Structure 1
Amino acid sequence: MQNKKLVQKLTAVQRKMNVRTCSSYRTISAEAACVIAGVSPIEIQVLERMKRYSGLGINAARKNLMRRWQLKWRWTYRLIPNVESWVNRPYGEVDYYLIQALSGHGCFG
């Protein structure tokens, strides 16, 4: 994860997949697409896997991932202040209108 160009390429690929997953606009940020799709950013996932490989427990690694992810994202934070509760919610599918509101791309005046 030291190579910034590699991280940018991985993030771009993941962003495209998340945009398709949540059916959002192609101009949505990578952070917002990750939160709405419920998929943690790739560089944080890699760090979690490295820590798990080096002996950290699964629960501790997951908590560390959620903490790092919480610190990373911006716009959608105003609407979803806790990413862990959003990802683990037992209800609610995201649809076209919710995506517009969460990503800031809707025409809501």
Structure 2
Amino acid sequence: MALRVCSAYCTVSTDSNLVLAGLPPLHLLAEERARLFRYGRTTTAAEKATEEQQEQQEWDISTNGQWTRRLIRNIMTWIHRKWGKLNYHLTQCFTGHGTFGNYLK
């Protein structure tokens, strides 16, 4: 789904796709939904902050998406931005997967 949201090539890493699309990793989303089902309540602000920290930590230690990580260091700043829509051309720039001489060899 993240590939479709940001119009990326299938060779773009999942980590980069998720950050660009503004989607959390699936296992964090599953934990949130399980907690919602188990306790029957919405996520508190403290739990949401903890999930955002976990997402940032996973982004920081990931070995995939090196080029995207250089451009987007803090993913919460990227996700909560109030400007700019992502399109095919911006995705190519943010991922380094595009019609560039370096990528195409």
Q: Which has the larger radius of gyration?
A: 2
Secondary structure (helix, strand or coil) at the match of 2:50 reads: helix
Task: Please give the residue correspondences for 1:29-108 in structure 2 after superposition, counting only pairs within 5 Å.
Answer: 29-51=13-35, 53-54=38-39, 57-73=43-59, 74=62, 75=66, 76-106=68-98, 107=100
Secondary structure (helix, strand or coil) at the match of 2:9 reads: coil
Q: Which runs of 5+ in 2 are unaligned?
A: none
Work out the number of aligned pairs and report it: 93
Question: Equivalents in 2 of 1:85, 1:21: separation in Å?
Answer: 19
TM-score by length of 2: 0.75
Residues 100, 108 of structure 1: alpha-carbon distance in 2 compared, 3 angstrom cutoff: farther
Q: Is the 8 A contact 2:32 2:43 kept in 1?
A: no
Q: Which runs of 5+ in 1 are unaligned?
A: 1-16
Residues 49, 26 of structure 1: alpha-carbon distance in 2 compared, 3 angstrom cutoff: same
Offset, 1:78: 1.3
Query: What is the Cα-based RMSD across aligned positions, in Å?
Result: 2.1
What amino acid is aligned across from residue 85 of structure 1 in structure 2?
T
TM-score by length of 1: 0.73
Question: Equivalents in 1 of 2:84, 2:5: separation in Å?
Answer: 15
Higher relative contact order (CA 8 A, sep 6+): 2
Give the percent of matched residue pairs that are identical in Structure 1 and Structure 2: 32
